[in-house]
């Protein structure tokens, strides 16, 4: 059964855990000098330890996997503890009792393996083990694994900004986009040994995030040759009714062209691992071809993404105390019809070309029985190029009447990225020192990253010149003209920014065991960041922060089964080029030009007239606040973890988070006058702010920490974001034919600065525009009041396993918005009610997998899989238009749609779909 659920046992992953314990005799007296050995498939050779004067032993730096511990001492019967499961970052307490014996005897104990870490303040974290990853039905795209964890949805973790708040890591080193922090390196799903998602109560060795750390631990070879070959396929309804149902019936009367979102997938991958020299040198290689064909709601064609990948890894035990890993990965990521959607015509899409490569190195050296050293480093390069599918010549035209983009994509974009990172740490154990036992850890991180980005509008040879986006309209416009097509135009010749940074961080932490029941976690993390720009001397962005961490654990019952945990800490936001990319020279940016059209006559059948200059805003030399502070998050948490029964734990955690020193750009030249706008649809007059004529084409942008006050008069409210939540976590790891990971999170994410992508790092709604503070306080976009996730497997007779993944998640928050006619600064869109006053319906999705294993020739295991996604064919709406009178028409309007209460452009979840798979394992 274990082989069925964990079909491949590849060894030595880079990130590690530990086992420690105390050996006593029948009377409870500690036994020094006991010979303790540890062995396991994921360990090269056998490690040995002699217990100290207190009868204690420890085995640090263990790769995740299952282990056996053996204790031997003359005059006592030998004891073997089996099936001890170690995960990354965990330290397990394995206490052993030895009985006196005059004869040689050996006792094998398959005792309860601990599921609670009694010393770590880390809580509400989850390890998605090999058993979970291999059995839960999902799209097998590695960056999406994080969304399987409690408290995470749509790349938002516990209230943090989308993507930016997640530290995407691979074997312990960051592999995210240096510009905005989103996922950049995508890997073969089947090279992953386990995934760790953690962010609550972490000690000082973890930093550079405000959401969670999402770390993928890769597989290695072993002393036995092993392989894993897999083919997965998911088809369209047009191919066969087996593959897909439709879930758009309730909307078809109002939206006859609306299609169900669909996805087609083909994943072919193969992996081999084994020894080059037994217990000395292992190899592991993997290759994958992953292709998806996605068809969004209301779009007539496929978005096709082709992703071939190659991964190779060497693991070496250079000496009995030194382990080295070297890995290489490359991906070629290509796509068509990017940016497809219900408001985009096929010719207005983009092609994508995104190859990248990565090399990583790690070294673990056990210096003594009490000290070990760990080094991790990697380097990656990649690009992300988006080009218009019709080439650079055609112009884009956005039709205001039917809310559609035609002609061409509105922009092209080229991103080049590179990142080098190194982490080093030294761990030392000190017993009976300064009123207790201590586990000291010292470390440093160094990172150097680069992000070059280029963006321009498309179109060549027209009357207004190149790089122009047109807005078309037929009807009577704001100025009283009768328009027959030409309406507005925006010209942007493109920017080219080349931004870099250096990050240096150091930490010191102490896990201080004061007594057998009380443990303190004390730590400090110091961060220094220097942002620079190509062809600009010196650092244009400098920050440093000292982040304290303080926590404790208390063994309530004294039996290491019920642990009270509490923690307080500051967590510094990731270093990104987004903070200072506007410090590139002004010649890197173009003029921002707008035009409006004046028709020659009021004849709707003619489209003649003249284009008039509306505005011409030259690039501004931004200034950086010399005293700018790095954004951070303050977190305090308290929880209890309980080992319920064998292989099973339960946790209850309260989480409180506050974001501080958020960064934004403020236009000090801007000035506004108060005005009003009457909404006929809502029959209500709203206050608005109109930029004065004198300051319309004058800017003086200042990059600083956002704060309300006399220096920033148009920041009408003190910017803030906060999160509170309670998480319940039940974890039964695989044994006795079943496993279950169940969680429930009740939370509230609120503030006046949203948690959409990049809003705390200088992107998002302009903080200097007072219209963005109208009804600004309320629920943030990602505010899942309720989040339920159930992931489980049960092994039926005849080697058939049934796995299910259910999630019930409150939909995103949305707000009624009003869009005005054009004022000096253009149209103004503002909230007509408190932010996030409404939520989309709760998504309730059940996915199921059925797998049958056939054993061939004694060692080959052939698995036949059938997955069904969205079993009950839910048709939950996930988004729609929220601008009254524009893409939302109230009851009584001729454009009212009853099925969506007047909201246009609805998006719905994917319908029921099926996937089949075949895998051969040996």
Convert the pLDDT of each residue in 480-517 to its tens digit. Answer: 788 999 999 999 999 999 999 999 999 999 999 999 99
Collapsing DSSP to helix, strand or coil, 86 comes out as: strand
Give the chain's end-to-end CA distance (angstroms, integer).
15
Q: What is the CA radius of gyration of the chain?
A: 30
User: 699 pLDDT exceeds 90?
Assistant: no
- What does the alpha-carbon distance between residue 158 and residue 155 come to, in Å, rounded to a whole number? 10
- What does the alpha-carbon distance between residue 213 and residue 222 come to, in Å, rounded to a whole number? 28
Convert the pLDDT of each residue in 417-435 to its tens digit. Answer: 999 999 999 999 998 888 8
Mean pLDDT of 174-197: 96
User: 476 pLDDT exceeds 90?
Assistant: no
- What confidence score (pLDDT) does residue 112 get? 67
Arithmetic mean of pLDDT over the chain: 93
Collapsing DSSP to helix, strand or coil, 19 comes out as: strand
Mean pLDDT of 115-141: 92
Residue with tokens 């550079």: 208
DSSP 806-865: EEEEPPPEE--EEEEEEETTEEEEEESSSTT-EEPPPEEEEEEEEEEEEEETTTEEEEEE
DSSP 345-395: -GGG-EEEEEEEEEEEEEEEEEEETTEEEEEEEEEEEEEEEEEETT-SSSP
**Token pair of 827 as six digits:** 């149209």
Yes or no: say if 166 and 212 are a contact pair by the CB < 8 Å rule: yes
**Token pair of 12 as six digits:** 């030595």
Convert the pLDDT of each residue in 584-599 to its tens digit. Answer: 999 999 999 999 999 9
**Token pair of 850 as six digits:** 């059925």
Convert the pLDDT of each residue in 765-819 to its tens digit. Answer: 788 999 999 999 999 999 999 999 999 999 999 999 999 999 999 999 999 999 9
Report which of residues 16 and 527 the model is more confident about.
527
Yes or no: say if 865 and 918 are a contact pair by the CB < 8 Å rule: yes
- What confidence score (pLDDT) does residue 244 get? 92
Convert the pLDDT of each residue in 829-865 to its tens digit. Answer: 999 999 999 999 999 999 999 999 999 998 999 999 9
The total number of residues written for the chain in this structure: 922
User: 9 pLDDT exceeds 50?
Assistant: no
- What confidence score (pLDDT) does residue 10 get? 30
User: 11 pLDDT exceeds 60?
Assistant: no
- What confidence score (pLDDT) does residue 111 get? 57
Pairing, β 623-624 against β 701-705: parallel
* Angle, alpha carbons 667-669-674 (nearest 5°): 90
Pairing, β 152-153 against β 156-157: antiparallel
User: 603 pLDDT exceeds 80?
Assistant: no
Q: Which domains does the chain have, with CATH numbers?
A: 2-109 (2.60.40.10), 126-219+343-839 (2.40.170)
Q: Which residues pair with 264 in a beta bridge?
A: 293
């Amino acid at each position: 059964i274990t082989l069925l659920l964990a079909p491949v046992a590849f060894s030595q992953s880079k990130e590690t855990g530990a086992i420690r314990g105390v050996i006593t005799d029948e009377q409870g007296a500690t036994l020094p000098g006991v010979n303790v050995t540890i062995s396991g498939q994921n360990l090269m050779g056998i490690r040995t330890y002699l217990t100290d004067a207190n009868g204690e032993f420890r085995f640090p730096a263990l790769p995740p996997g299952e282990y056996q511990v053996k204790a031997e001492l003359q005059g006592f019967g030998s004891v073997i503890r089996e099936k001890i499961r170690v995960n990354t970052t965990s330290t397990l307490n394995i206490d052993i009792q030895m009985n006196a014996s005059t004869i040689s005897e050996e006792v094998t104990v398959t005792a309860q393996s601990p599921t609670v870490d009694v010393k770590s303040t880390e809580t509400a974290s989850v390890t998605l083990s090999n058993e979970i990853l291999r059995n839960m039905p999902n799209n097998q795209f590695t960056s999406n694994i994080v969304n399987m964890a409690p408290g995470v949805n749509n790349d938002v973790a516990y209230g943090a900004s989308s993507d930016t708040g997640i530290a995407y890591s691979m074997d312990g080193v960051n592999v995210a986009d240096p510009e905005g922090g989103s996922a950049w390196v995508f890997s073969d799903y089947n090279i992953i040994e386990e995934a760790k998602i953690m962010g609550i109560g972490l000690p000082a060795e973890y930093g550079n995030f405000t959401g969670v750390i999402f770390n993928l631990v890769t597989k290695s070879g072993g002393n036995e040759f092993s392989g894993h070959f897999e083919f997965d396929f998911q088809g369209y309804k047009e191919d066969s009714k087996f593959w897909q149902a439709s879930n758009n019936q309730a909307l078809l009367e109002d939206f006859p062209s609306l299609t169900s979102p669909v996805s087609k997938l083909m994943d072919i991958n193969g992996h081999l691992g084994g020894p080059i020299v037994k217990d000395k040198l292992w190899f592991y290689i993997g290759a994958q071809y992953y292709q998806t064909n996605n068809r969004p709601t209301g779009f007539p064609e496929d978005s096709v993404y082709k992703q071939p990948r190659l991964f190779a890894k060497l693991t070496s035990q250079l000496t009995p105390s030194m382990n080295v890993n070297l890995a290489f990965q490359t991906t070629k990521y290509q796509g068509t019809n990017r940016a497809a959607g219900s408001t985009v015509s096929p010719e207005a899409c983009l092609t994508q070309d995104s190859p990248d490569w990565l090399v990583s190195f790690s070294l673990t050296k056990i210096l003594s029985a009490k000290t070990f050293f760990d080094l991790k480093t990697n380097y990656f390069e990649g690009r992300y190029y988006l080009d218009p599918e019709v080439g650079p010549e055609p112009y884009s035209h956005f039709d205001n009447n039917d809310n559609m983009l035609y002609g061409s994509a509105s922009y092209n974009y080229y991103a080049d990225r590179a990142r080098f990172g190194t982490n080093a740490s030294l761990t030392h154990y000190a017993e009976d020192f300064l009123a207790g036992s201590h586990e000291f850890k010292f470390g440093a991180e160094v990172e150097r990253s680069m992000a070059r980005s280029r963006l321009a509008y498309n179109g060549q040879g027209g009357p207004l010149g190149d790089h122009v986006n047109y807005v078309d309209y037929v009807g009577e416009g704001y100025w009283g003209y009768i328009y027959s097509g030409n309406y507005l135009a925006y010209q942007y010749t493109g920017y080219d920014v080349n931004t870099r940074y250096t990050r240096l961080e150091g930490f010191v932490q102490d896990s201080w065991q004061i007594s057998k029941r009380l443990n303190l976690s004390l730590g400090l993390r110091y961060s220094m960041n220097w942002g620079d720009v190509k062809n600009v001397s010196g650092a244009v962005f400098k920050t440093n922060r000292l982040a304290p961490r303080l926590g404790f654990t208390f063994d309530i019952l004294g039996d290491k089964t019920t642990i009270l945990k509490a923690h307080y800490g500051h967590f510094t936001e990731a270093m990104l080029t987004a903070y200072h990319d506007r410090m590139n020279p002004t010649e890197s940016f173009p003029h921002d030009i707008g035009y409006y059209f004046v028709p020659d006559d009021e004849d709707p059948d003619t489209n003649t007239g003249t284009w008039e200059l509306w505005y011409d805003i030259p690039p501004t030399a931004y200034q950086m606040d010399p005293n700018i502070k790095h954004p951070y998050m303050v977190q305090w948490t308290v929880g209890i973890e309980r080992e319920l029964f064998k292989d099973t734990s339960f946790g209850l955690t309260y989480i409180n988070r506050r974001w501080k020193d958020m960064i934004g750009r403020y236009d000090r030249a801007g000035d506004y006058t108060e005005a009003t706008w009457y909404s006929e649809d809502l029959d209500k007059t709203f206050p608005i702010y109109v930029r004065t004529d004198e300051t319309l084409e004058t800017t003086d942008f200042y990059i600083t920490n956002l704060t309300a006050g006399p220096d920033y008069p148009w920041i009408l409210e003190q910017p803030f974001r906060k999160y509170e939540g309670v998480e319940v976590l039940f974890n039964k790891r695989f044994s006795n034919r079943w496993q279950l990971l169940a969680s429930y999170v009740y939370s509230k994410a609120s503030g006046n600065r949203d948690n959409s992508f990049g809003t705390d790092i200088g992107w998002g709604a302009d903080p200097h525009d007072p219209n963005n503070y109208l009804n600004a306080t309320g629920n943030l976009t990602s505010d899942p009041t309720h989040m339920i996730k159930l992931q489980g497997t049960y092994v039926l007779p005849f080697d058939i396993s049934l796995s299910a993944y259910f999630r019930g998640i409150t939909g995103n928050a949305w707000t009624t918005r009003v869009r005005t006619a054009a004022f000096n600064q253009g149209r103004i869109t503002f909230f007509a009610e408190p932010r996030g006053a409404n939520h989309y319906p709760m998504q309730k999705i059940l996915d199921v997998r059925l797998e049958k294993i056939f054993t061939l020739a004694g060692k080959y295991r052939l698995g036949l899989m059938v997955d069904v996604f969205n079993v009950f064919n839910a048709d939950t709406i996930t988004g729609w238009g929220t601008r009254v009178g524009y893409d939302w028409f109230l009851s009584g309007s001729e454009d009212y749609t009853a099925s969506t209460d007047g909201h246009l452009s609805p998006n719905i979840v994917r319908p029921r779909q099926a996937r089949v798979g075949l895998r051969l394992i040996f």
